[in-house]
Amino acid sequence: MTIAIDRVGPSDLIRAVDWNEMADAIEALDVRLAALESGVSSGTGGNEPVITDIDPDQPIAGEIVQIIGRNFAVPASLNTVMLDGDELTGFLPGSTGELIRISIPGGLSGLPRSMLLEVHTVSGDASRTITVQPAQAIPAGKPSVVNQTTGIGTIVAGATYTFTFEIDASPVTMTEAYVLEAIYSNVTGSTAQEWLAGTSFVGTDAFDQVTVNPATKKTVGVTVTVPSGASQASLSLKTRSVHNDPNSSQTSAVVPIEVGVDQPENDSRISLFPGELPANVDSVEDPTTHESVIRVKYPAAGSRDVIIPIKAQFLVGGTFAYAASIADAGAIWSVVSVTPANSPEAAGSAEDISVKVRLSVTGPQNERRLLTVTATRQETDATGQISSQVVMPIEGFAG
């Protein structure tokens, strides 16, 4: 189509009608140019719909797509939107003459694939080929992240050590990628930033990311250079789910690190980790340190006994003794009992351990302590005693 505009000579009067004719011609040209640039096919009238963009550019089945352009019918229900010949229904709020918001059906097959998206109005039609992506599967279930560090010996400032963790995805429904994060708390003699500056990961797919298949386990290492002047710190490993954070993310129990002290062995043939907490106990993430903390509500008076459940899994048989302690318990915390105190275990078996702790209103409140639970094999063999432990921050809260 050729646009004809009368020329203006010297001293000619430019009338409003002349200006409007030029403006209409420019607008029509702009519509045609936009259609050409966007790969759109359209009708020949001046009010036909035009598609200039799709957001997102590769829409996902079952989610919202925004068709951006001009000359769409208002209200949106006066438009007919087709996807590969099937009409889409259910226009969404926010649609205008320049925007159509509508959902892509969730039951499409053979995705990802190219599909023709069309908009029809009484004035014409417009279309664009889009690539529809399949809906993203969301994992369910949390992995367990268990410390299995062994063979480190005495901690020395300035030296480098690798702390080993096992990520067990048995409860997770699908393959998932986790971003690893080292968390330091209870730091004295240095700063958490100094510990982080000397931290790296091993056994990962990328620098700080690991992929774990369902019903499988993967071992990763946190390599730590102890800062000069450091006295102690507690290390936790957080596995942040890429596709379902925080529901499928998990943080390990803390690993106390004390300069000048032998690092306790965690034999890989035993796994200890917290179980499902009872109704009067909860676990929260500290907003500052990001470590998982078990919280017990203070009693109105006197003291309160609660059960902290521990799961134990054994790859080796034997008779195991169980014990628990609270660091610097003072007057506020105490361990009442550990059940069972010991038990025979077969290779491949599991044990539920109940640790009863007592929280008293006597003494300073809201102070965090570390609860340590250990399992120790009573028999000895060529490799010596087999033992493991799990350490959990605990604190009381008022409410």
CATH classification at residue 219: 2.60.40.10
How does residue 165 score in pLDDT terms, banded at 50, 70 and 90? Answer: very high
pLDDT at 33: 63
Q: Is residue 390 part of a domain?
A: yes
Whether the pTM exceeds 0.85: the reply is: no
Q: What is the mean pLDDT of residues 182-193?
A: 95
Mean pLDDT of 182-207: 95
**The pairing of beta strand 144-147 with beta strand 209-212:** unpaired
Mean pLDDT of 5-11: 68
The reply to whether 104 and 146 lie within a common domain is no
CA distances for 191 relative to 136, 196, 244, 314, 328, angstroms: 40, 9, 31, 37, 22
Neighbour-count burial for 341-353, b at 16+ CB within 10 Å, e otherwise: eeeebeeeeebeb
pLDDT tens column, 41-93: 444 456 899 999 999 999 999 999 999 999 999 999 999 999 999 999 889 99
Domains held by the chain: number: 3
* Contact call for residues 398 and 299 (beta carbons, < 8 A): no
Question: In terms of domains, do 387 and 323 share one?
Answer: yes
Six-digit token pair at 129?
């080929």
Kindly report the CATH number assigned to the domain that includes residue 316. Answer: 2.60.40.2310
Does the residue 164 lie in any domain? yes
- Rounded average pLDDT over 125-134: 94
- Interatomic CA distance for residues 150 and 183, integer angstroms: 20
Pair (250, 148) in one structural domain: yes
**249 and 370 co-located in one domain:** no
Q: Where are the alpha helices (DSSP H) in the chain?
A: 16-37, 192-197
Calculate mean pLDDT across residues 16-34. Answer: 65
pLDDT of residue 111: 92
173-197 as b/e, with b when 16 or more CB fall inside 10 Å? eeebbbbbbbbbbbbeebebebbee
Residue 382 — very low, low, confident or very high, per pLDDT cuts 50/70/90?
A: low
> The tokens of 162 are what?
């690798």
Q: How confident is the model at residue 20 (pLDDT cuts 50, 70, 90)?
A: low
Residue that finishes a domain, picked among 98, 132, 166: 132
Q: Is cis: bond before 340, omega within 30 of 0?
A: yes
Torsion 148-152-155-157 (CA) sign: negative
Quick one: tokens of 54? 């799709």
| Residues 195-234: tens digit of each pLDDT | 999 999 999 998 899 999 998 999 999 999 999 999 999 9
Q: Are 171 and 284 in a shared domain? A: no
pLDDT given at position 300: 87
Q: pLDDT at position 44, please?
A: 44
Residues 381 and 397 in one domain: yes
Token duo for residue 284? 């929260």
Same domain, yes or no: 196 and 74: no
d(CA 198, CA 184): 12
Domain that holds residue 188: 137-263
Residues 313 and 397 placed together within one structural domain of the fold = yes
Which of 132, 167, 190 delimits the end of a domain? 132
Q: What's the average model confidence in pLDDT over 130-140?
A: 90
Instruction: Please check whether residues 154 and 212 belong to one and the same domain.
Output: yes
